[in-house]
Amino acid sequence: MSVLAEWLGMLAAVCTTGAFVPQVLHVWRRKSAQDISFGMYFILVVGIVLWLIYGILIVAWPVILANGATLILALAILVMKVRYDRVPKR
């Protein structure tokens, strides 16, 4: 049961982090992020930074690595949101 749980947890982490990759590509290709919520990605980035500090404090590498990767992807979406909203393509 414990090994199954561990594998499920790792697969879950890969999914919830990897999920942001298609969103980065979607916004990048369309050069549009008007339907993306600035508030969501702002709060998300704050939350991920808190997860990172938490992971460092309790020395949990899976937490550090998963959130490190998600932080880069969430920041990319946030930066594109600000940039593309300023000069809208539509």
Rule CB under 8 A: is residue 11 a binding residue for its own copies?
A: yes
DSSP string, 21-60: HHHHHHHHHHT--TTS-HHHHHHHHHHHHHHHHHHHHTT-
Closest C-alpha among 69, 66, 71 to residue 49: 71
Q: By rule CB under 8 A, what count of residues binds its own copies?
A: 44
Interacting residues with its own copies between 13 and 72 (CB under 8 A): 13-16, 18-23, 25-27, 30, 32-44, 46-48, 50-51, 53-54, 57-58
- Return the DSSP state at 19: T
Q: List contacts with its own copies (CB under 8 A).
A: 1, 4-5, 8-9, 11-16, 18-23, 25-27, 30, 32-44, 46-48, 50-51, 53-54, 57-58, 90
